[in-house]
Structure 1
Amino acid sequence: MSSPDSPVRTRHDTRPASAPAPAGRKRAVDPKRAGGRVDRAAGPSWLVVVPACVAAALAVLPLGYLAVRALERGPAFAWNVISGDRSVQLLLRSLGLSATVVAACLLLGISLAWLTTRTALPCARAWSVLVTLPLAVPSYVTAFAWLSAAPSLAGFAGSALALTLASFPYVYLPVAAALRGTDPGHEEVARSLGHGPLRTFLRVTLPQVRPAAAGGGLLVALYVLSDFGAVSLMRYDTFTRGIYTSYRASFDRTPAAALSAVLVLMTVALVTAETRSRGRAGYSRTGGGTARRTAPAALGRLRLPALAWCGTVVATAVGFPLATLGYWLAVGSSATWEPATLATTALTTLAVAAAGAALTTVLALPVGVIAARHRGRLAHLLEQAAYAGHAVPGITVALALVFFAVRYVRPLYQETPLLICAYAVLFLPVAVAATRAAVIQAPPVLDDVARSLGRTPFGVLREVTVPLAAPGVAAGAALTFVVCMKELPATLLLRPTGMDTLATRLWTETGTGSFAAAAPYAAGLILLAAVPSYVLGRHRT
């Protein structure tokens, strides 16, 4: 009698258990052992490879532009631009702002994650939702709110405040997820040895969430380096504002390209440093861990300060901007803003964001399928190329597409299709990540079953892979739609003449000090971004 794990053989099957399968019969691939991927001798179909190569080529276009344009007048000229006093000043300003914002976000994100997941904080579930709401408020809207209320904040302080309040959820979300996934038994042991909540957090909990905190800090640093709206409204010169000023002030694009190359190198250096900081230490637990949830730590005398801390963060990051917008909406009148113009701008924003999300999702689908279903150098290269846009700020992508359009496709210059392509380059990593995760969750053995039934590779993709991954792909498309609506620097440079989105209109009105006229566009942007954000959040919970 065979054991449950032994192969089952019929009476007519006289082959030994270790004998190979007969010729012509394919051995099934265990998706768990394959890591969610299927190795096929023929590799991915050309019907998937060709569009994936198109997406990768579009994603690496800005990097090629920087290499050509920055060296167009020779390495000596580029070095003079990079090593000049202005560039060094921009470098120090950008690094100082990034370091300040990352430190503040780590403090906010880690403390709030610990309070909402590991302590007996009253209404912890409600607080965990409230502290993620700043993701729906663009950084330049937060900057607008604080600048209109306190003009003296313009400069470094205002930029750091606005960027911190807009980006600390990037630390909170991964740290909170790590705290929910780690084995709480270690903390129980620490408490049984007499350690209090604070000492347990510092000695036991914090080391376990360090990779998540480092990853969140990296996202914040990249966000700060690429931000244009908040620093522009606060009139604080960083690399992004310096690149925009250089582009607008001269017909020579080489200085702007050289500055963009430095910004890309800074981004690559940050990613490399974060990767090396992980080291070789393991942070995963062995086994399934404890099946029950640990008892939350009692806050005791810290209960009221903890509630005050959470309330202050939410009120500052969400309540104050909304209250400021409400004030300026009440102050404004038909003399300062027109509902018809607001409606037209909102429809334009929805149209270009929807087109950008659709193109990005279509380009991301073949890349995500190859990354999830195939191994090899080609799959790795295509996936890494698709993520190239993650290292290039929006203003650099816009400069690259302007250069490409003027040189090779002049009719597309300052036309909507070029703007939509910019959205695809910038946010392709968002859609690829969502698509890859969704395809991996679909059992790859179903693809093999469909092939054995005579389906072509395209038929397998259309009838099996895409339908199974559709919910995850749709979630990625919704997230891409939200970020397209909020994008500012590329939209400013690439929008057709006379076309405005809510983001560009807000930036224009705020730049002239017309806060009452800017408020409706800020409110409209938040409302439009909040709807898909709410649907997306409800779908994931």
Structure 2
Amino acid sequence: MSRTPAVRPPRALLAAAVVACALAAIPLVYLLVRVGTAGFEDIAAVFERPRVPVLIGNTVLLAASVTLATVAIGVPSAFLLARARLRGRAVWTVLAALPLAVPSYLAAYGWLAALPWMQGFWAAWFVLTLVAVPYVTLPVAAALRAGTTGLDDVARTLGRGPLAAFRLGTWPQIRPAVLAGALLVCLYTLSDFGGVALFRYQVLTTAIQQAYGASFNRDYAAILASLLVLLAVAVVIAEQFARGRAARQFGAVTGPARQRRVRLGTWSAPAVVLLAVPPGLAVIVPVAVLVVRLFEAETLREFDAAELAAAAGNTVLLSAGGAVVAIALALPIGILAARYRGRIIRAIETTGYLALGLPGIVVGLSLVFFSLAAVPALYQTAFVLAFAYGVLFMPKAIGGIRGATAQVPTSLEDVSLTLGNGRLRTWWLVTARLARPGIAAAALLVAVTAMKELPATLLLRPTGTDTLATELWSRTDVSAYGAAAPYAVTLLLVAAVPAFLLSRARAGAGELDEAVA
């Protein structure tokens, strides 16, 4: 792991990060304006409603429960993928990433079609945990591949047991990856709408959607959205505090760059069950239900291949555009967070992460108002929708870029600078080349997430343009499960491609990190 230089960041890099934050802050500015026009009495009246504390409590309970569950499943799963003697490792790695291709509302739709009685907190917790596990498993597995087992071996020779050796030797190496994954899971859960809506579990996002849909009290919805942003701010600050405390406590963990595979023995069967549960319950069960629906006579009779192909093409193009926007916005922020420290840097990073805590409908409405006021020609264009994807999922890119950049030793950059190369050329020739697998993984993560995005897509899509997500939702919203099946299956297949590439990119990043070490 590279050390952070105790120097000021380049002005150009800092300016680029500030511009990226300003663009990403458009939804926040919109919220501030809406809340500011509401007045103190209206704001106070919102907190006097008995339903509001319940919504906040439900939101916090669900986010905390899903985060803890994904860490509990994701860390041992990552250990098995990276450190255990496991047959079919490549297949298991792909399967571990597959739940990323499943939006929460698609998984919820599949389970509801099979078990209509599923409702409430436990149903939402169950499905969100399954689809969010890869956010922890993949980065932790990459950190384990890049780490060393040498320190564990030293602890074992001193009489420590396997768990104590892991805690002393490996945990300091993977703790930043665990925190980053937990942060993404928590923010994802805070902003989720489709899954909780189908399970009729009332949280802030569902209340915001209902208030905006009613349209008679947008200020109430904006105040609720502001509460959601405050929760997201608290989560980001807590993650930064925990990451900084870990850095002060453990410092840079170094050791012999070697890996030791662990024999599973009698634990082979439980290990296979642990690895099979998330993809099995998040993907296989919903897919089995969808396949049954797909071959129903009514479904086949209403199937329109041209409409399906157009929706699939729009999904791919728009999500790719969103990935490009997200990487462009996240690059300066991720580099700053990886290489420099200070209050300004922390403020920039925090601002960059806030969008993931915003409901898609808030981002969509803010860009509707912004495009109409600033650039009317862009209203209801593909560019605005791709920009919305970039703003919404930029935090996912920041984490990947930060982690990939931090893995590149600063000594290599120093050598390049002493050879007369400028900072930009050094970054391009050295840092970008070594961090490329991590940056590619970040782009793929944004793309696969953008394919599933629903509320902002419903608001910002150009007239006559449909995606697989909007077509699926329009049919499930009226319980036309059979008609929705072709779009659900196609969405899963299309999103599985970047999910597969993401698993390969993560593996490649880990191998590259080992080579650099």
What TM-score, normalized to structure 1? 0.78
Deviation at 1:178, TM superposition (A): 4.9
Residue 443 (str. 1) matches residue 413 (str. 2): yes
Deviation at 1:240, TM superposition (A): 0.8
1:15-26 pair list within 5 angstroms: none
Q: Secondary structure of 2:38's partner?
A: coil
**Distance in structure 2 (CA, Å) of the matches to 1:347 and 1:389:** 26
CA deviations 1:379-432 (Å, max 9, x no partner) are: 776555444424433232223223334544455444433322212211233445
**Distance in structure 1 (CA, Å) of the matches to 2:397 and 2:160:** 47
Residue 343 (str. 1) matches residue 332 (str. 2): no
CA deviations 1:220-271 (Å, max 9, x no partner) are: 2211111112112222221111111100102431111100000011111222
Structure 1 range deviating more: 522-531 or 392-401? 392-401
Determine the structure 2 residue equivalent to 1:14: none
Q: Secondary structure of 1:235's partner?
A: coil
**Count of residue correspondences:** 498
Determine the structure 1 residue equivalent to 2:20: 55
Structure 1 range deviating more: 51-60 or 135-144? 51-60
What residue identity is the alignment partner of 2:44? Answer: W
Contact 1:485 1:529 in 2 (8 A): yes
Provide the alpha-carbon RMSD of the alignment.
Answer: 3.9
Residue 264 (str. 1) matches residue 229 (str. 2): yes
Deviation at 1:437, TM superposition (A): 6.2
User: Relative contact order (alpha carbons < 8 A, sep ≥ 6): 1 or 2 greater?
Assistant: 2
Determine the structure 2 residue equivalent to 1:358: 324
CA deviations 1:79-123 (Å, max 9, x no partner) are: 211341121121122122223322322332234334445555555
**Distance in structure 2 (CA, Å) of the matches to 1:178 and 1:469:** 15
Q: 2:32 aligns with which of 40, 60, 67?
A: 67
1:272-291 pair list within 5 angstroms: 272-277=237-242, 279=245, 282-283=249-250, 287-289=254-256
| Contiguous gaps of at least 5 residues in structure 2 | 509-517
**Distance in structure 1 (CA, Å) of the matches to 2:261 and 2:413:** 37
**Distance in structure 2 (CA, Å) of the matches to 1:203 and 1:363:** 37
Q: 2:77 aligns with which of 112, 115, 120?
A: 112
Determine the structure 2 residue equivalent to 1:396: 362
Determine the structure 2 residue equivalent to 1:216: 181
Larger Rg: 1
Residue 79 (str. 1) matches residue 44 (str. 2): yes
Structure 1 range deviating more: 271-280 or 510-519? 271-280
**Distance in structure 1 (CA, Å) of the matches to 2:105 and 2:262:** 37
Change (3 A) 1:188 1:518: farther
Q: 1:499 aligns with which of 457, 465, 480?
A: 465
What TM-score, normalized to structure 2? 0.82
Q: 1:523 aligns with which of 474, 479, 489?
A: 489
What residue identity is the alignment partner of 1:352? Answer: L
Identity of paired residues, percent? 41
**Distance in structure 2 (CA, Å) of the matches to 1:482 and 1:204:** 34
**Distance in structure 1 (CA, Å) of the matches to 2:167 and 2:418:** 49
Contact 2:233 2:350 in 1 (8 A): no
| Contiguous gaps of at least 5 residues in structure 1 | 1-31
**Distance in structure 2 (CA, Å) of the matches to 1:312 and 1:343:** 32
**Distance in structure 1 (CA, Å) of the matches to 2:417 and 2:131:** 42
Change (3 A) 1:188 1:514: farther
Residue 44 (str. 1) matches residue 11 (str. 2): yes
**Distance in structure 2 (CA, Å) of the matches to 1:212 and 1:436:** 11
Q: Secondary structure of 1:132's partner?
A: helix
**Distance in structure 2 (CA, Å) of the matches to 1:437 and 1:214:** 12
Change (3 A) 1:95 1:375: closer
Contact 1:447 1:465 in 2 (8 A): no
Contact 2:97 2:503 in 1 (8 A): no
Determine the structure 1 residue equivalent to 2:503: 537
Contact 1:146 1:158 in 2 (8 A): no
What residue identity is the alignment partner of 2:60? Answer: L
Deviation at 1:341, TM superposition (A): 0.8
Change (3 A) 1:189 1:218: same
**Distance in structure 1 (CA, Å) of the matches to 2:333 and 2:442:** 14
**Distance in structure 1 (CA, Å) of the matches to 2:376 and 2:137:** 45
Contact 1:38 1:373 in 2 (8 A): no
